[in-house]
A and B are shown apart, each in its own frame.
Chain A
Amino acid sequence: MRNVFNRIVLLILSILAIVFGILALLILGGLVSPAQLSPGGFLHGLWSSIGMSSGPGRTTALISSIVALGLGLVFLGIELLPGRRAGEFVIRRDGLGTVSVARNSIDELVGRVAGSVPGVREVREDVEKGDKGLRVWVRAAVAPDVVAPDVARTLQEQVHTALQNNLGLPVSEVRVSTQLASLEHTQRKRVR
């Protein structure tokens, strides 16, 4: 309930910021007059001050409008995009309540399981929730003296088993790509 309340407040504030930004930009661009946006004189003073601003004041009004619009869009996006709730995975929901695991914990365990596979030096992982279960991507840097396809297969099996059996969540796919070069050019996570 607390989360829902916070999200509704954030949604309303985002929409207000977007509306304010757009209207202010329309006034500053001379596309609408303050009077058109002030039925019954509502907020007429605000719109007039924006419309009649000049010099540095106009620049400030322009920057403020763009910032309000930008922030509104960013927060609206954060609230509405499908990935918003992907920060946690619900692994059980019953009459007693829910059990959830944070996404970074799942990432951590995938990295840990992958790190336990002989021949794996570094690993990068990503976990998403798909319609049929978890989808896991693992990119691993392997030692030059191992057979990469074998390591990849072992890694795939172990990640799949660890997630499915220990979390209780179905795993629809585990994609593994291996390379000899270090993963240091991207965000790197060393195997412990």
Chain B
Amino acid sequence: MTQLHSSEIGAPSAEVRFAREIARAVVQMPEFASLGPGRFVQAATYGPGERITGVVVQQSAPEVFTAEIHVVLTEAALQQAFIQQPIGSAYLLQLADAVRKVAHQAASRVAGTATLAQIDVAFDDVA
């Protein structure tokens, strides 16, 4: 029989801890108005009594996780992306790289021995 310690009952899963940290970090980036809800299905990570919308963290192998981050661009960022940036700058790709970097940094704070192997970034909308 499996025994649970009281501290483990209701403790957030690794997915939830990752998602929480990533969401907290990404939403602070000035280019984003908020995290996105997803396009076709609700993009969220679910934990006991908790839902982190906009970040989907899943375990793909032992100690290996993947993340899907949905963001809503601000008008200003869109403006910058398509009007003010020099030609060839691929601003959205730069922004996606920045999101990945922030997500990796955030995840490293709670990762322990786990790794975030893949991060998908979806620009869901403009607000």
Contacts and interface: CB of A to CB of B under 8 A. Distances in A.
Interface in A63-114: 87-88, 91-92, 95-102, 104-105, 108-109, 112-113
B121 A100 contact: yes
Contacts, number: 86
A165 B123 CA distance: 17
A145 to B, nearest CB: 24
Interface centre among A1, A95, A100, A161 (most CB of B within 10 A): A100
Interface in B21-40: 39-40
Contacts of A112: 78-79, 82-83
Contact of A99 (B39, B82, B96, B126): B96
B41 A99 contact: no
B39 A166 contact: no
Contact of B82 (A1, A95, A96, A162): A162
What is the interface residue range for chain B against chain A? 20 to 34
A109 B78 CA distance: 7
B100 interface: yes
A2 interface: yes
A85 B58 CA distance: 22
Interface of B: 39-41, 56, 58, 66-67, 73, 78-79, 81-83, 85, 87-93, 96, 100, 118-126
21 contacts: A1-B58, A87-B40, A91-B92, A92-B96, A97-B67, A97-B118, A100-B122, A101-B122, A102-B39, A102-B124, A105-B73, A105-B123, A105-B126, A108-B126, A165-B88, A165-B90, A166-B89, A166-B92, A167-B90, A167-B92, A168-B92
